[in-house]
Amino acid sequence: MGADPIDEVPCAKGAVCYCLDEFSKGPGARSRIRNLNEAITQLAPTYMGLEDVFDKYLLSRVIKDPAERRRIVAHLKAFWFDSDAPEPFFPHRHVVQVYAEGLCKTLELALNGRRRVVPINAWWILDCAELRMLNLANVNEDGQTIGGNVTLLIMTPRPQFKGRRSRGPTILGKEAQAWVTEQQGDRVTTRRVRDIRPPD
């Protein structure tokens, strides 16, 4: 999903989350979202090749550098979507199916805006007991999505990185922000996630 988050970070916005946010805004958003949704649906029931669909219909709309996209696609396949990979982040779980079907629900909600496409706000939430895709939206009695955005939370256990760590930004983009309020020792603290740094 991006750089491996440091242990103190409770959430991240890596490449897929950032691209979902960006491609769901502005002119042409309805067409982009519909095309991605249809391409994912065509992969059912195995959803093999999801990373390639992401590259063609999502990543390429936001990230122009082909080499960077190839790195992202390789990362998604090796650690997220290929259950036969040597060191997947979440072994013994149906990651690609949960991810694909949860994302299709996000796209459906975004397309179902009353007067417009509802932008997506996607985050990766760590330290969860199970792998889940959680969609949050305001929906009226007619089944239309209303409000400012559709929130997608990609909820996972924290991956065991086995010595392989890539240090990059926890949150991509300039506008997205997150804060964590928690007890540390005898104190309660609130920290901006962008400011959390690995221990020396």
Q: Which two tokens stand for residue 28?
A: 């042409």
What's the average model confidence in pLDDT over 30-44? 98
Dihedral sign computed on CA atoms, order 152, 30, 55, 48:
positive
Q: What is the DSSP string of 22-76?
A: HHTSSTTHHHHHHHHHHHHHTTTTT-TTHHHHHIIIIIHHH---HHHHHHHHHHI
- Strand pairing report for 187-192 and 11-12: unpaired
Say if 154 falls within a structural domain.
Answer: yes
Which structural domain, as residue segments, surrounds residue 89?
11-158
Say if 168 falls within a structural domain.
Answer: no
Q: What is the DSSP string of 58-125?
A: IIHHH---HHHHHHHHHHIIIIII-TTSSS-SSTTS-HHHHHHHHHHHHHHHHHTBSSSPPPEEEEEE
Say if 69 falls within a structural domain.
Answer: yes
Q: How far apart are CA 71 and CA 108, in angstroms?
A: 28
Which residues on adjacent β-strands are paired with residue 120? 150
pTM: 0.90
Tell me the per-residue pLDDT of 161-191, one tens digit each, with 9 for 90 and over: 665 555 667 888 888 999 999 998 899 999 9
Say if 100 falls within a structural domain.
Answer: yes
- Provide the number of structural domains found in the chain: 1
pLDDT of residue 98: 97
Among residues 136, 152, 159, 174, which one has the least CA distance to residue 36?
152
Indicate the Cα dihedral angle 73, 34, 120, 6, nearest 10°: -10
Say if 80 falls within a structural domain.
Answer: yes
What's the average model confidence in pLDDT over 111-127? 94
Choice among 1-10, 87-96, 97-106, 114-123 with the minimum mean pLDDT: 1-10
Q: Which two tokens stand for residue 30?
A: 């309805």
Say if 66 falls within a structural domain.
Answer: yes
Say if 51 falls within a structural domain.
Answer: yes
Cβ atoms 28, 57 nearer than 8 A: no
Tell me the per-residue pLDDT of 129-153, one tens digit each, with 9 for 90 and over: 999 999 999 999 999 999 899 999 9
Say if 194 falls within a structural domain.
Answer: no
Q: How far apart are CA 11 and CA 22, in angstroms?
A: 18
pLDDT of residue 174: 87
Mean pLDDT, the chain, whole residue set: 91
pLDDT of residue 172: 84
pLDDT of residue 165: 53
pLDDT of residue 136: 98
pLDDT of residue 43: 97
Among residues 177, 181, 182, which one has the least CA distance to residue 194?
177
Q: How far apart are CA 96 and CA 53, in angstroms?
A: 12
